[in-house]
Structure 1
Amino acid sequence: MIQSVVITVDRNVLAHQLFTGVSRQHLACLVEELAGPWQAMIEGRRHEARGGARKREAGAGARHRLVFVDRLVVTLIHLRHDLPHSVLALLSGVDRSTVTRAVGEMRGLLAERGCAVPDRPGLRLRTLADVFAYAQAEGIELRLDATEIQVRRPAAGRGGRRAFVSGKKKQNTMKATVVADHQGRTLWTDALRPGRMHDATATRNEGIGTCFQHFPDVEVGP
């Protein structure tokens, strides 16, 4: 007789810096900063689904299979190590769909925080305009580059399948434009796009050219 085996890993282990890439102190700060916006997002979604205010007492109803802290941890692990959602689900003792939903929620919240400015504690750049304004004010020379990562081939019959085939790598990829300072420290990155899109097209769509017009003193290095 074959018995199924359930594998779960201690949540404290998964929260270790080797997995998440951040210290426990930094993780605690992220929890404190993002818990409120996440709860507001969830309540807003429920309000829309109900079509009005809640009718039961606060706390009633089904519980999350992954609490907020665990959702943040699995998202950080996924972003750092690119582990498949199915693997993270196995480690966490939940369904893959639960991890997929959690990562989708948390990635947006993390992205909205923007990028920290080197040597300027507390200052964060959340938009491309913020980056150019900072570079012009501080005399920072920017570096622009398109990074490309290989992805699984889209399923047969999926619309727009060819859009992921990179003309450079001849593989299925996703691209993102990264803006860094003269020391290579990331200041901004755009959303991932299909690998077939040319870098010049992406630059135009992202409004980088417009930013150069508004901030003419900003220089770009090699």
Structure 2
Amino acid sequence: DATEVQVRRPPAGRGGRRAFVSGKKKQNTMKATVVADHQGRTLWTDALRPGRMHDATAARNEGIGTCFRHFRDVEVLLDDGYLGLRRDHPGQAVTPPRKGNKISPPEVLEARLRARHRHSSKRITVEHALADHKRWKQLVRWTHRRETLPVTYRAIAGLVSDRNTTG
């Protein structure tokens, strides 16, 4: 999954200033891609990108497609932001079923709702892993130079992951 950290606005007159404006938060952010296991432990975090970049694009740029090709029996639970990865890697990249439209029969709508609930129940540990990162005050709003955020984020993710494995 991906999470966004609010950062300072780039200086006026610099190129790429709009790249940090998130479409979701309508603020200047950087987006961190995080991989967690079924127990909520952080396995990998990297790919801090400008907030405007889509989740699936950031994952593709980090080579997730190569990982899917090398590890054929791995199944990854993703959210709705990764529908393109589900299309590219069927059976490996699992996203929740699409929401039913208004003209669908009620039993179809109910079945999809139950399937979405089952999927989110399996993914909740990933959301908890992201929440563990955000409990650190530095990652709520980054007030330092944007260039130093990736190193700090990885260090905090390592500390959180170590705490989860030993505690």
TM-score normalised by L of structure 1: 0.34
The structure showing larger relative contact order (alpha-carbon pairs under 8 Å, at least 6 residues apart) is 2
Higher Cα radius of gyration: 1
